[in-house]
Amino acid sequence: MTTHEPTSASLTRGQLPTNWTTRRVAVRDAADDDTPALTAIFNACTYAQPWDPTFHPVELAEIGKLVKRSHAGDEHANFRLQALRQREGELIGYFHLFHGAPQPDVCWISMFVIHPGFQGQHLAQEVVNGLAYHLRQAGYRAIWLEVYLRNWPALRFWTIMGFTTIVGYEGDKEPGEGRQARLMLERPL
């Protein structure tokens, strides 16, 4: 992966709105009091740990740090954690991303989680398409993310969502017990 020095055009790129909606999902910046529900949502997804070691059980404090980081106005200003709620209901998931990383005109989705009870209802597709719309409006040219090769459900989801360009590979060169590899995928905006 290559990175570029920020240009004056990249420094003026926008960020996601603090609140936005899809047909069935309300998206907003996560609040401190969302931390228990966001932690429970993440921990409900630990079934994916055999395919993706990211999904190990976490403590409340770990998610709390991410929520606080999202509110920081310092060097972490490019990090954003947004909570997903059914339009008239409960929290169902969240995502976090970095604006302008790893390149000034790219956003990096560092985590995207939907509670298993709400998976398969195409809510995530609505959110990803809304996210793509807002990032395109903010001046970005692409979204990148990373997927573990053994996480076939995630690979299938993200490629269906248009993340079909491989921009990088990290991990072991040969398969085997305890070995891992990840693809960095891009969706042009």
Q: In the prediction, which pLDDT does 174 show?
A: 81
Q: In the prediction, which pLDDT does 168 show?
A: 95
Q: In the prediction, which pLDDT does 2 show?
A: 34
CA distances from 104 to 59, 97, 145, 148 (A): 32, 13, 15, 24
pLDDT digit string, tens, across residues 105-125: 999 999 999 999 999 999 999
Q: In the prediction, which pLDDT does 9 show?
A: 37
Q: In the prediction, which pLDDT does 172 show?
A: 83
Q: In the prediction, which pLDDT does 5 show?
A: 33
Domains with residue ranges and CATH for the chain: 16-141 (3.40.630.30)
Q: In the prediction, which pLDDT does 51 show?
A: 92
Residues of the chain with pLDDT below 70 are 1-12, 73-77
Q: In the prediction, which pLDDT does 74 show?
A: 59
